[in-house]
């Protein structure tokens, strides 16, 4: 797994690549936590190169959603491959965070 | 199209990924539909993670876990057997309420919920002092579209 951080407007963007499962979900939790620490309470998670996510990875995502919500921001997802979207839907995560086509749309959703 | 692959694994946190990826390769080598492979891989990963995390307690040193992957006719079957004390991950956690807002969401049970949604049949048996979990998915026709 690799997390690349950038900015888009007033939002922080975390692009998550590769595979997130029980073996490395703790790393994702820490990476997203670090981005939020840097002022990223408006957090875009770019999933274009996310190949696989299990419930352990969703747990890290839920932590980020709860924390950014509390800080008055939130998490917006974007560029989510179909098979990942299916996992988000079955888990009810599409009720917790919105999914956008592009990074810019996701970043703009906080305005 | 008949095929079989059996592997042993240890109750360690790195093992579910290794075995799940073995299944991914097994599916690709035998031209199974990628959508079915992805769903079964996730279900397998979730169930194995549960077994590795909770099934053995202090007795992990003597643990034997065997995973069998089989294609017979139009059925894909994965069998997970271990020699731990009786442990049924399918009833261990309550089904999560996936409609709750983030603040009220708890993550427990989500893995098994995903597994139950993504394979047609999930079965637990206690046989000759061993736990046996079976995942079965027919290949004819796509699995039903899961709903939230």
Put simply, the answer to whether B16 touches A23 (Cβ < 8 Å) is yes
pLDDT at B73 over 80: yes
Half-sphere exposure of A84 (CA within 13 A, CB side): 23
Q: Thinking of the domain B3-138, which architecture would CATH place it in?
A: 2-Layer Sandwich (3.30)
Task: Please write the tens of the pLDDT for every residue from B95-131.
Answer: 788 888 888 887 667 999 999 999 999 999 999 999 9
Chain A CB contacts of B33 below 8 Å: none
pLDDT at B148 over 90: no
Query: What CA–CA distance (Å, rounded) separates B65 from A59?
Result: 26
What pLDDT is attached to residue B121? Answer: 96
- The burial class, CB within 10 Å (0-12 / 13-18 / 19+), for A83 is middle
Partner B contacted by A21 (CB < 8 A): yes
Q: Enumerate residues 6+ apart whose C-beta is below 8 A from B101.
A: A95, A96
Put simply, the answer to whether B35 touches A83 (Cβ < 8 Å) is yes
Query: Which tokens go with A97?
Result: 């965070």
Query: What CA–CA distance (Å, rounded) separates B85 from B57?
Result: 9
Give the percent of chain A with pLDDT over 90: 97
Query: What CA–CA distance (Å, rounded) separates A37 from A35?
Result: 5
Task: Kindly state the helix (H) or strand (E) to which residue B22 belongs, with its residue range.
Answer: helix B15-29
Which residues, numbered 106 to 135 in chain B, qualify as contacts with chain A under a Cβ-Cβ cut-off of 8 Å?
107, 110-111, 113-114, 117-118
Name the residue ranges covered by the structural domains of chain B.
3-138
Query: Which tokens go with A30?
Result: 């820490």
Name the residue ranges covered by the structural domains of chain A.
2-108
**Average pLDDT, stretch B10-30?**
96
Going B20 to B118 to A99 to B99, the CA torsion angle's sign is negative
What pLDDT is attached to residue B142? Answer: 57
pLDDT interval class at B140 (50, 70, 90): confident
Q: What is the CATH number of domain A2-108?
A: 3.30.750.24
């Amino acid at each position: 797994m690799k997390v690349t951080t950038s900015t888009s407007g007033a939002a922080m963007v975390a692009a998550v690549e590769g595979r997130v499962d029980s073996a490395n979900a703790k790393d994702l939790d820490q990476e997203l936590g670090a981005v939020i620490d840097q002022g990223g309470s408006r957090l875009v998670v770019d999933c274009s190169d996310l190949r696989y996510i299990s419930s352990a990875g969703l747990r890290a995502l839920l932590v980020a959603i709860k924390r950014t919500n509390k800080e008055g921001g939130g998490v917006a997802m974007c560029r989510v491959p179909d098979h990942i979207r299916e996992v988000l839907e079955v888990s009810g995560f599409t009720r917790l965070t919105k999914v956008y086509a592009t990074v810019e749309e996701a970043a703009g959703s906080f305005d | 199209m008949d095929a079989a692959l059996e592997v042993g694994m240890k109750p360690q946190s790195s093992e579910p990924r290794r075995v799940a990826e073995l299944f991914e390769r097994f599916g690709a080598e035998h031209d199974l539909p990628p959508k079915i492979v992805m769903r079964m891989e996730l279900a397998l990963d979730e169930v194995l993670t549960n077994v590795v995390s909770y099934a053995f307690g202090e007795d992990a040193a003597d643990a034997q876990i065997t995973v069998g992957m089989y294609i017979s006719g139009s059925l894909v079957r994965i069998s997970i057997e271990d020699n731990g004390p009786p442990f049924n991950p399918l009833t261990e956690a309550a089904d999560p309420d996936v409609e709750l807002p983030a603040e009220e969401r708890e993550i427990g049970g989500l893995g098994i919920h995903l597994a139950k949604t993504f394979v047609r049949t999930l079965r637990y048996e206690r046989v000759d002092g061993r736990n046996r979990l079976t995942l079965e998915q027919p290949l004819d026709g796509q699995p039903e579209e899961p709903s939230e």
